[in-house]
Amino acid sequence: MTASTTPTMRVETVPHSGGKTRRFGSRRSARPGRAAAWRRAILGALGIVLVGVAWELYKLIGPEKGFAIGDLILLPRTNDMSMPHIATMFERLAEPLTGASNSIMMWQAVVDASAFSLYVAAVGWIVGVSVGLLLALIMQRFRTAQSAVLPWIILSQTVPLIAIAPLVRRWGAQIQFGDFVWENWMSVALIASYLAFFPVSIGALQGLNSPDTNHVELFRSFGVGWWKTLFRLRVPASIPYLIPALQLAAANAVIGTIVAEVSIGLKGGIGRMVIEFAGAAGGDPGKPWAPIFGAVAIGLIAAGAVGVLALLVRRYRRGETNA
């Protein structure tokens, strides 16, 4: 240990013969064995069960009228309308959607709506990630671009979603060339991408700028061009920043999709289902909870998909940093 080694400095560089640069970092843990994987799965399941137990426990012992200070309700009421039993929610999933003779089952409707929303969110995510990466590249390459664009990127996220959603739908309605017709779901995907690009552009820029100056200068001293430096040094170095950014983008895309669905009333997805079922809370308390399960499922699938993506690039993931 020399005085110059700070505790935060986990990455060191060893130039190999042929100028190839590799990064080594301290591993946080040993490779998880099969037992550890099982333990994680069991702990995960236990976590879900615990939430359910906490719900039912509060329902059992919590105050019937809730707990309020003045008019401000701090703890929810425990009656069956406000907090239906978990069993009620699951029973409702197994019942028909509307009561019409040809009605599909509730769980089926929720699965359909989730698939629809997930699809729209995925399109939004891909568009958002592409735009975010492109912006990060431009900002990394041209310092002027960074000064000019970065404030706008940050400002873009302060515009309330509900304000832009109807505008996007309106502009979309005016787009038409050839056989291509802008459809409402595209407006929703666009809004999802609007939320998704932000963490990616910021995270990727930070990642692309993360290599130490001495690495960059080493490349320069060998006369390596910008593109090669980008692919050999900056992109690999950006992975630890990029993965959390992509995860954030996935979460944002899902939220953006659901909120935009509500906002412009797009049919077929979870967001619209939430609003449509909200009125049933009094007479059919299990119904409004059905789409919530769908929303949770979408979130898990989206996060899982990014997790799989992260596995593909795991060799670069040493020394993960939060974006």
Closest CA to 266 of 279, 255, 277, 275: 275
Stretch that binds other proteins, among 32-40, 140-148, 167-175, 295-303 (CB under 8 A): 167-175
Tell me, residue by residue from 175 to 204, as one string, x for binding to other proteins by CB under 8 A and - for no binding.
Answer: --------xxx-------------------
d(CA 195, CA 183): 19
For the segment 1-60, give every residue that binds other proteins (CB under 8 A).
Answer: none
CB of 287 to other proteins, least distance (A): 7
Q: Exactly one of 36, 278, 300, 303 binds other proteins (CB under 8 A); which one?
A: 278
Between 40 and 141, name the residue whose CB sits nearer to other proteins.
Answer: 141
The separation between CA 323 and the C-alpha centre of its own chain, rounded to angstroms, equals 13
CB of 4 to other proteins, least distance (A): 30
Q: Does 317 bind other proteins (CB under 8 A)?
A: no
Between 146 and 208, name the residue whose CB sits nearer to other proteins.
Answer: 208
Q: Does 76 bind other proteins (CB under 8 A)?
A: no
Q: Does 89 bind other proteins (CB under 8 A)?
A: no
Between 35 and 71, name the residue whose CB sits nearer to other proteins.
Answer: 71
Closest CA to 300 of 258, 260, 251, 262: 251
Q: Which residue has the tokens 């568009």?
A: 127
Torsion of CA 139, 142, 143, 145, to 10 degrees: -60
d(CA 108, CA 129): 31
CA angle 201, 257, 198 (to 5 degrees): 10
Q: Exactly one of 279, 296, 307, 314 binds other proteins (CB under 8 A); which one?
A: 279
d(CA 238, CA 321): 10
What is the total residue count of the chain? Answer: 323
Stretch that binds other proteins, among 37-45, 52-60, 161-169, 214-222 (CB under 8 A): 161-169
Could you give the C-alpha distances from 59 to 54, 87, 88, 228, in angstroms and in order? 8, 13, 13, 61
Q: Does 298 bind other proteins (CB under 8 A)?
A: no
User: For other proteins, how many residues bind (rule: CB under 8 A)?
Assistant: 58
Q: Exactly one of 3, 60, 74, 100 binds other proteins (CB under 8 A); which one?
A: 100
Q: Which residues contact 319 (CB under 8 A, 6 or more apart)?
A: 10, 11, 25, 26, 240
For the segment 118-137, give every residue that binds other proteins (CB under 8 A).
Answer: 119-120, 122-123, 126-127, 130
d(CA 142, CA 136): 10
Closest CA to 259 of 247, 270, 246, 271: 271
Per-residue buried b or exposed e for 40-59, using 16+ beta carbons within 10 Å of the residue's own CB? eeeeeeeeeeeeeeeeeeeb
Stretch that binds other proteins, among 9-17, 23-31, 36-44, 76-84 (CB under 8 A): 76-84
CB of 30 to other proteins, least distance (A): 25
Closest CA to 149 of 213, 207, 196, 205: 205
Q: Does 98 bind other proteins (CB under 8 A)?
A: yes
Q: Exactly one of 59, 215, 234, 287 binds other proteins (CB under 8 A); which one?
A: 287
* Residues of the shown chain interacting with other proteins in the complex, contacts defined by CB under 8 A: 77, 79, 81-82, 97-100, 109, 112, 115-116, 119-120, 122-123, 126-127, 130, 162, 165-166, 169-170, 173-174, 183-185, 231-232, 235-236, 261-269, 272-273, 275-284, 287-288, 312-313
